Amino acid sequence: MGDYGNQEQLTAQLQNMQQQMLQMQQTIQAQLDAAEHAALARQEQQAQTA
């Protein structure tokens, strides 16, 4: 029974880590999207002033 409880705890920790990794991935993707958007906006500005 002790082993089973330990396995449950490890499973819960693993799920927590997977959730954190997913959140980090989403945060990174959002930062990349924002950077790409900013770069496109700069290109448009430069094209208009040229």
> 20-48 pLDDT, tens per residue?
999 999 999 999 999 999 999 999 999 99
Give me the mean pLDDT over the 3-22 stretch: 94
pLDDT, residue 43, reads 94
Q: Which residues of 2-27 are buried (b: 16+ CB within 10 A; e: fewer)?
A: eeeeeeeeeeeeeeeeeeeeeeeeee
